[in-house]
Amino acid sequence: MILGQKNLIIPLLGGIQFNETLTMNIYEKYLLPRIVNFTCGLKPMMKQREKVVPLAKGRVLEIGVGSGLNLPFYAPSLVKHLWGLDPSQETWALAKDKLGTLNFDVEFIEASAEDIPLDSGSADTVLITYTICTIPNVLTALREAHRVLKSDGTLLFCEHGLAPDESVQRWQNRLNPLWKRIGGGCNLNRPIPELIEQAGFSIRSMETMYIPGWKPASFNYWGAANSI
C-alpha cells in the first residue's frame, strides 16, 4: 500500500515540477522579453537613455542590448561600430524594426557578459543600461567590461539600484526575492557605484535621482567611468 502510494505520488510531484519548469521557460522565453520591452520603453526610462547613449563613440559594446531600446539614441556621427551583446536571442528579435534606420554597423553577439567573446582593449566605449540589476555574476561581467575596454575608454552606465532612503531600502530588500523571480533575475537592491568601482573603474561623473514610477525600482544612477 505504502509502496503503491509512493509510486503514484512521486510521478505526480515530478509532473507538477515539470509543469512549473515548462511554464517558467515559456514565460521567460516568450512573455518576459515583451514585458521588459514595454516597461523599459516607458517615458521616464527613455528620457534617461537620452542623457547617456549619445555620448558613446568609436567602437561601442552595449552589454545587455535587449530589444534595442537604446539604438535610436546613438549619435551616428560618433559611432563606428556597435556590438550588441545579450544572451537572449528572443529579446533581440524585438529590435528588428529599429535596425533599418541606423547609419552604423550593428553586430549582435549572443553571449553572456560574464564571458565576452571580444579581444582585450577592443572597445572605445562600453555602454550598460538597466542590466547591472540582472546579470547573475555581475562582478565577473563588469571585470569583463573592464578587460574589453581600451585603457583610455569610457564605461557609460544608467541603472536602477539601491535607494538612499532606509524606508525604500527596506521594501527593496523585502520584495527582492519575489521580484527577482518574476522579473527575469532583476534585483531591486544592487549598490551600482560600488559594483562599478569594485570591478576596477573610477567613476568620473555620476548623477542620481528617483525617476517617476514605482519607488523600489526607480532610483537611478547614471554617468561615466574610466579604467584605473
Ligand X SMILES: C[S@@+](CC[C@H](N)C(=O)[O-])C[C@H]1O[C@@H](n2cnc3c(N)ncnc32)[C@H](O)[C@@H]1O
By CB under 6 A, name the binding residues for ligand X: 36, 40, 63-64, 66, 69-70, 86-88, 91, 112-114, 129-131, 134-136, 141
Cell matching residue 212: 517617476
Of 141 and 162, nearer to ligand X (C-beta) is 141
Smallest gap from residue 36 Cβ to ligand X (A): 5
Listing DSSP states for 141-209 in one string gives HHHHHHHHEEEEEEEEEEEE---SSHHHHHHHHHHHHHHHHHTTT--S---HHHHHHHTTEEEEEEEEE
Smallest gap from residue 110 Cβ to ligand X (A): 10
Q: Which of 51, 47, 66, 40 is nearest to 224 (CA)?
A: 51
d(CA 163, CA 74): 28
Tell me if residue 89 falls in helix, strand or coil.
Answer: helix
Smallest gap from residue 16 Cβ to ligand X (A): 27
Of 36 and 168, nearer to ligand X (C-beta) is 36
d(CA 134, CA 131): 5
Of 69 and 162, nearer to ligand X (C-beta) is 69
Of 132 and 168, nearer to ligand X (C-beta) is 132
Of 131 and 220, nearer to ligand X (C-beta) is 131
Q: Which residue is nearest to ligand X (CB)?
A: 66
Smallest gap from residue 185 Cβ to ligand X (A): 6
- Contacts of residue 227, Cβ cutoff 8 Å, sequence gap at least 6: 146, 149, 151, 152, 153, 155, 200, 201, 202
Smallest gap from residue 121 Cβ to ligand X (A): 20
Tell me if residue 111 falls in helix, strand or coil.
Answer: coil
Of 14 and 107, nearer to ligand X (C-beta) is 107
Smallest gap from residue 109 Cβ to ligand X (A): 10
Give me the phi and psi of 52, to 5 degrees please: -115, -50
